[in-house]
A and B are shown apart, each in its own frame.
Chain A
Amino acid sequence: MSSSFALIATGALMSVFLMMRSKNPVHSVFYLVLLFLHCSGLLVLLGLEYFVLLQLLVYVGALAILFLFVVMLLDIPSTEILRHQRGTYPVAGVLGLCLILSALLAFTQPLVESPFQTSPIPTTSTFTGQNSDFVSSSRHYSFWNNYRTATSTVANLGIRLYGVHADLLIIRSLLLLVAMVGAVGLTLKRPVSVPNQDVFRQHYVDFQKSLVQIPQNKI
């Protein structure tokens, strides 16, 4: 066990513990940022430099800032703490049992004879996928042909992401769109007592039906 791994792992666990134990939510968010930095350090040790940058950009740059915005928007008093710590112990017990069982199974499972194996894609070799003839046959994909012999991990990941699994990419973008529309729709506050103007309803008034004949004796 190298000393840098021990340092980074201990720092990550300590920052999670402090995140759960701190009284101020702003401190919790900052400990979460610290945890993200430690996890990107773990990824540096694994040698995945693209995911290090991605994690720093997405988690620290977007999610933590979003959390900080909400914390500052809501003005949460930091004193409402430790008054009642009642958890759902049966649910937590069942889920913890499942976690321990699955972790044990994952650690003791033989890798080669496992029935759940898919065909592995090597990270640092040339691209020879199932759709390689599709890539080479089409004239429009000649740009991708330059990357077929690429040997870096990021180039292979790009081929996989945009070429082979492009449908998953589209589904992923739809997921983000649904999340964005859902967030806007949840927090949109429509004032009820204010006389507002519905343009759509105004334009779709049927004039034949809106004219009402008043009887003569009412006048």
Chain B
Amino acid sequence: MNSALFLCTVVVLFGMGALGTFLNRRNFLIMLLCIEVMLLSVNLVFLTGSVTVDDLNGQLLALWVLTAAAAETALGLALCVLYFRLRSTLDVELISLMKG
């Protein structure tokens, strides 16, 4: 199995997640899902590298990324619930008015 093909697929996956986070900003929840896709692709990069160079550190780092993804999901969904209580919508268009 060619590992460059794996890496190309995963980089495209990461790019699509980043595109959804930075350009396609319409919904708080969709942004959270796109961040999740980015973390998943980083995880796949670590695992592919671990298999390619026959190194166990990549799998340990993948476990780290998994934990960070779980923590990020919990906090992001809490912020989502909080924002929905304040605004009763999930649009992120005017979210910068909440600062201060």
Pairwise interchain contact A20-B20, C-beta atoms closer than 8 A: yes
In the complex the two chains form, is A84's CB within 8 Å of B6's CB?
Answer: no
Return chain A residues, CB-CB under 8 Å to B81.
Answer: 70, 73-74, 186-187
Contact between B56 and A88, CB atoms less than 8 A apart: no
Question: Which residues does chain A contribute within 8 Å of B18, judged by CB atoms?
Answer: 92, 95-96, 99
The answer to the question of A144 belonging to the interface, with a C-beta cut-off of 8 Å to chain B, is no
Q: Are B44 and A70 in contact (CB under 8 A)?
A: no
A89 touches B (CB below 8 Å): yes
Which residue in B7, B11, B43, B90 is a CB contact (below 8 Å) of A74?
B90
Interface membership of A141, Cβ < 8 A? no
B interface residues, tally (CB under 8 Å): 69
Report yes or no: B62 in contact with A51, Cβ–Cβ below 8 A: yes
CA distance A17 to B91 in the complex (A): 20
| A107 and B40 contact, CB distance less than 8 A | no
Give A102-133 interface residues, CB cut-off 8 Å to B: 103, 106-107, 111, 118, 120-124
Output the least CB separation between B38 and chain A (Å). Answer: 10
Q: Are B60 and A160 in contact (CB under 8 A)?
A: yes
Query: Given A58-B66, A183-B74, does the pair A16, B27 have CB atoms closer than 8 Å?
Result: no
Q: Are A25 and B40 in contact (CB under 8 A)?
A: no
> Whose C-beta in chain B lies nearest to the C-beta of A88?
B22
Indicate if A101 sits at the interface (CB-CB under 8 A): no
Verify A168–B56 contact, CB threshold 8 A: no
B56-78 contact mask (Cβ, 8 Å, vs A): 1 or 0: 11011011101111111111011
Type the 1/0 row for B69-100, where 1 means its CB is closer than 8 Å to any CB of A. 11111110111111011000111010000000
Q: Is the CB of B80 within 8 A of A70?
A: yes
The reply to whether the CB of A53 lies closer than 8 angstroms to some CB of chain B is no
A176 and B71: CB pair below 8 A?
yes
A67-B57 contact, Cβ under 8 Å, with A51-B47, A99-B18: no
With A1-B2, A82-B26, A92-B22 known as contacts, the answer to whether A160 contacts B51 (CB < 8 A) is no
Chain A: residues with CB nearer than 8 A to chain B? 1-2, 5, 9, 12-13, 16-17, 19-20, 25, 28-29, 32, 35-36, 39, 42-43, 45-48, 51, 54-55, 58-59, 62-63, 66-67, 70-71, 73-74, 76, 80-89, 91-92, 95-96, 99, 103, 106-107, 111, 118, 120-124, 153, 156-157, 160-161, 165, 168, 172, 175-176, 178-180, 182-184, 186-187, 189
A-B contact pairs, 18 of them (CB 8 A): A2-B1, A12-B13, A13-B12, A20-B19, A25-B27, A42-B9, A43-B47, A45-B1, A67-B29, A74-B90, A82-B26, A96-B18, A99-B11, A120-B55, A121-B56, A123-B50, A176-B70, A186-B79
